Structure 1
Amino acid sequence: MGTSKKVRTGRQVALVMLALAGVLVAWLVLLPRWFRRNRSLLLSRGPFRRLLRAYNNWALHISGTRRSSWGLLTHLGRRSGRTYQTSLGTHPFGDGLLLPLGYGTRTDWYRNVMAAEECAVAWKGRTYHLGRPELISGPEAMEAWPIRDRILLRLAGIHDFVWLHHLGE
């Protein structure tokens, strides 16, 4: 009797873990695709906007730290001149860093960086002064990422990246 109860508990734990993995994959893979198609509709509604704001606030706290793979992009608004911070996946590439364009070229952070032609990225506990942004895509940019990230990027339909070059300190 005791063994069958352990097996049942083990199956329940496995089922919960599988469900959590499914939710994580949905969040990382399906959400960017769906968001790109329905951006204006989603951001005009209250509940999703509040959820996204809470997630972004949480991500800002861990981005750029030594243990996080996310970088914290600091950029100036192209119209307001206000300083903004955005959490993004970050990976070294060539003489700078590579940032994925998860929601396409219409995102504000991308347009702000392209207009200012410079920004700062905190990554792995260091801050880099970057500029000369280039929009790149293709196998060379994709292969710069570790295999686990490459799989998620492909599943999410992300093929475009911003290559930011080091400007010095």
Structure 2
Amino acid sequence: MARQSTISARDAVRTFNKHVLNPVMLLLAGRRHWYAAALRHTGRRTGRIRTTPVVAERVSDGFITPLPYGTGVDWLRNVQATRTATITVDGSSFDVVDPQIIDAATAAGQLSARRRRAFGRFGIQHFVKFDLATDTSGENHAH
């Protein structure tokens, strides 16, 4: 019973954030000196461009994003379907590909100590790892 109430509470927070907090967060997401990044992705059913505020930690070969609401969120299903997205963080945009769900132990070895502690306090168990896209010359796209 406790697990069900935890899931219900998490879903209620997720729904509130999706419809109330996220539109406000998008006003600042991706800008310099702001903690949230903007993840631009294509809707898997509608084909419409969507933008979702996320936390994105830059790692050596891409980005790692925590999944505090689990692996069934709409934006993750969209990027899994298209295998591509654009992450705007600290004022710069990066094309990313190949989203892979990883566990907390795998992510921990690549995250900064500060992020590792924060994500650990929130009990985040799953993350998505994105690789940087490359163009034909082998250089990373940054806009």
CA apart distance, 1:102: 1.1
SS in 1 for 2:38: strand
Q: 5+ unaligned residues in a row in structure 2: which ranges? A: 135-140
SS in 2 for 1:111: helix
Give the TM-score normalised by the residue count of structure 2. Answer: 0.79
- Say which is worse superposed, 116-125 or 86-95, in terms of deviation: 86-95
The alpha-carbon distance between structure 1 residues 114 and 52, as it changes in their structure 2 partners (threshold 3 A), is: closer
Opposite residue 39 of structure 2, the aligned amino acid is L
CA apart distance, 1:36: 6.6
For residue 94 of structure 1, what is the aligned residue in structure 2? 60
Distance 1:140 1:155 in 2: 17
The alpha-carbon distance between structure 1 residues 117 and 35, as it changes in their structure 2 partners (threshold 3 A), is: farther
The alpha-carbon distance between structure 1 residues 40 and 147, as it changes in their structure 2 partners (threshold 3 A), is: closer
Opposite residue 82 of structure 1, the aligned amino acid is R
Give the TM-score normalised by the residue count of structure 1. Answer: 0.68
Matched, 1:160 2:126: yes
- For the 8 Å contact 1:74–1:85, the answer to whether it is kept is yes
**Highest Rg: 1 or 2?**
1
The alpha-carbon distance between structure 1 residues 162 and 56, as it changes in their structure 2 partners (threshold 3 A), is: same
Opposite residue 96 of structure 2, the aligned amino acid is L
Distance 1:57 1:140 in 2: 31
Q: 1:114 aligns with which of 66, 75, 80?
A: 80
- For the 8 Å contact 1:142–1:150, the answer to whether it is kept is yes
For residue 32 of structure 2, what is the aligned residue in structure 1? 66
The alpha-carbon distance between structure 1 residues 68 and 35, as it changes in their structure 2 partners (threshold 3 A), is: farther
Distance 2:4 2:115 in 1: 19
Distance 2:125 2:25 in 1: 23
Distance 1:145 1:35 in 2: 30
For residue 17 of structure 1, what is the aligned residue in structure 2? none
Q: 5+ unaligned residues in a row in structure 1: which ranges? A: 1-32
After TM superposition, the structure 1 = structure 2 runs for residues 2-151 of structure 1, keeping only pairs within 5 Å, are 37-38=7-8, 42=12, 49=16, 53-151=19-117
Distance 1:80 1:69 in 2: 29
Distance 1:40 1:163 in 2: 22
CA apart distance, 1:56: 1.1
The alpha-carbon distance between structure 1 residues 41 and 58, as it changes in their structure 2 partners (threshold 3 A), is: closer
Bigger proportion of residues as helix: 1
User: Identity over the aligned pairs, expressed in percent?
Assistant: 27
Aligned residues: 132
Distance 2:58 2:11 in 1: 34
